[in-house]
Amino acid sequence: MFFKKRRVGRKNSKKVNVWKAGVTKLFVATAGLAIGVTLVYLGVDVKHKRLAEEINKYEQEYAIEEKNYILEYARWEIKLTTENLSRTLRDHGLAMEVPTASQIVRIDSDGRMFPGQSSEARANRVLVPRASATDQPRLRETGW
């Protein structure tokens, strides 16, 4: 009568503390998420650094090219001055002078003069239609 009742299957019971299992799963999930975010961040950071280095390289090349452009433009502007052009022509043995504004005729791709030139009226006086069948204008000898 005073025997203890035996509990059958106590060792084989499948009871698990739900609180401990939930915390463990939550910790594993959080750790996995943290590791994933860290790996993504590191990948983006490496790519960012590589692109930044490439941009810096291109910026340096651009600065060098811009400096060369400015220097070459200045050299070209110096060469285009009237005095330097005259001196260069004289050095090469060419007897040429820079034309005056009335001697310059600007013509478009169709062969027509641009309107508003001071030489337009003079050129229109000089151009006379040819008597031949080609209808090409020719210059009359005017002595200029």
Q: Are 104 and 120 in contact (CB under 8 A)?
A: no
pTM above 0.95, yes or no: no
pLDDT along the chain (144 residues), means of 10: 57 61 85 96 96 97 97 92 87 82 80 71 55 51 49
pLDDT attached to residue 121: 58
pLDDT attached to residue 47: 97
pLDDT attached to residue 144: 47
100, two tokens: 């005056």
Give the separation between CA 27 and CA 33, rounded to whole angstroms: 10
Contacts of 126 (CB under 8 A, 6+ apart): 139, 140, 142
pLDDT attached to residue 94: 87
